[in-house]
Amino acid sequence: MSVLEEVLFSGYIAQGPKSDEFEKRFGEWVGNPNTVLTSSCTGALALSVRQALDSGEPTEKPNVVSTPMTCIATNTPIREAGAAIKWADVEEDTGNISAASIDETIDEDTRAIMLVHWSGMPADLDAIHRVAQKHGVPVVEDSAHALGALYKSKKIGNHSEYACFSFQAIKHITTIEGGAVACKKPEDAERITKLRWFGLNRKEQRDSIKGFEEYAGAGYKMNTNDVSSAIGLEQLKYLDGIVTRHKENAKTLKSELDGTVGFPRVADGADPSYWILTILVEPDKKRAISDSLSAQGIDNSVSHTRNDIYKGLGNEALGDDSAVARFDARKLNIPCGWWLTQDDLQRIANATKEAVKNA
């Protein structure tokens, strides 16, 4: 790749001009100029939670109301930032956090609401924002699965205070490792720009004698670099096509498998970007279905385990009668990525029918 060679031999591989260009162009693609590149989505989430805590009313015991049906990366940043996690339940038919459960769970020490758009299927943002506004707390969207998804005709990245994206190896696009946060307020983007690099604004021209004079408070090392950004700029050229292929592939599989397996409901106003396709099967048949798919050469997995059962995150699990327990028991994920051909899709559909029939 000549663009990579150009950066690698340029004498400048750290965060510099390529990163500025990718940051601007990715923000334009999302439609939000307050977009900041980070080292990963986990980094973007950590910076967002930190900024939400720092800009809220101080409290001795802050908490964040969060979804258990997600990757551990959604929730570890909350604990790292020194807040407790309060689990809200999910909607059983979507797997996404329930606005009603947030409303029941939230208290006066809640400083943010954390959600994930499970598998790229947008959560019910209008209902969640109504609850957030009632309690005066910001919303962080873990959008790692949802690059290119729309809610009410707008790309994810334009609805809440913070929306965090992943460019890790197996996401819609990759920079090997990388991420971004799209902020609603320019001042949040400005502070996160500093916090991602120790608390200093690396983008400002440094006076070589004075050095940096402004410090935004103890920050992190969660910046990007020009090698990743050069890859990102190339990937961006294909992003629209990639998202379209994910959507079309999911549509083909959903129509082929209609009546064979269940699917999570698409929320009103949502247009998912289907990072993976979640199918819903009978819990006692899931192991057999999964084994059969694997034997037929079809990748499948539960992807993420409900987080509330992880004692290390420090709160009581929601219990066996919760919606998250039922969703988690039924869900299995199959591929629907851009690289699949029509023959691949037919093979996945046939293998799934065979697996369900024999389970």
Ligand X SMILES: Cc1ncc(COP(=O)(O)O)c(C=O)c1O
The contact set with ligand X (CB under 6 A) reads 40-42, 70-71, 73-74, 116, 142, 144-145, 166, 168, 179
In the complex, the smallest distance separating the C-beta of residue 232 from ligand X, rounded to whole angstroms, is: 13
In the complex, the smallest distance separating the C-beta of residue 163 from ligand X, rounded to whole angstroms, is: 12
Dihedral sign for Cα 35, 81, 117, 174, please. positive
* Contact of 96 with 67, CB cutoff 8 Å: yes
274: left (phi over 0), alpha (psi -120 to 50) or beta: left
The tokens describing 106, both together, are 């939230």
* Contact of 302 with 69, CB cutoff 8 Å: no
Active-site choice (18, 86, 155, 171) = 171
In the complex, the smallest distance separating the C-beta of residue 145 from ligand X, rounded to whole angstroms, is: 6
Q: Which is nearer to ligand X, 163 or 281 (CB)?
A: 163
Query: How many Å apart are CA 198 and CA 204, to the nearest integer?
Result: 14
Q: Which is nearer to ligand X, 179 or 355 (CB)?
A: 179
In the complex, the smallest distance separating the C-beta of residue 96 from ligand X, rounded to whole angstroms, is: 12
In the complex, the smallest distance separating the C-beta of residue 268 from ligand X, rounded to whole angstroms, is: 22
Secondary structure (H, E, C), 58-99 = CCCCCEEEECCCCCHHHHHHHHHCCCEEEECCECCCCCCECH
279 bridge partner residues: 332
In the complex, the smallest distance separating the C-beta of residue 169 from ligand X, rounded to whole angstroms, is: 8
* Contact of 118 with 96, CB cutoff 8 Å: yes
171 tagged catalytic:
yes
Smallest CA-to-CA distance from 73 within 39, 105, 106, 32 is with 39
* Contact of 20 with 204, CB cutoff 8 Å: no
Q: Which is nearer to ligand X, 41 or 182 (CB)?
A: 41
Helices (H), 224-305: 226-236, 239-256, 286-295
179 bridge partner residues: 38, 166
Q: Which is nearer to ligand X, 166 or 315 (CB)?
A: 166
Active-site positions read 171
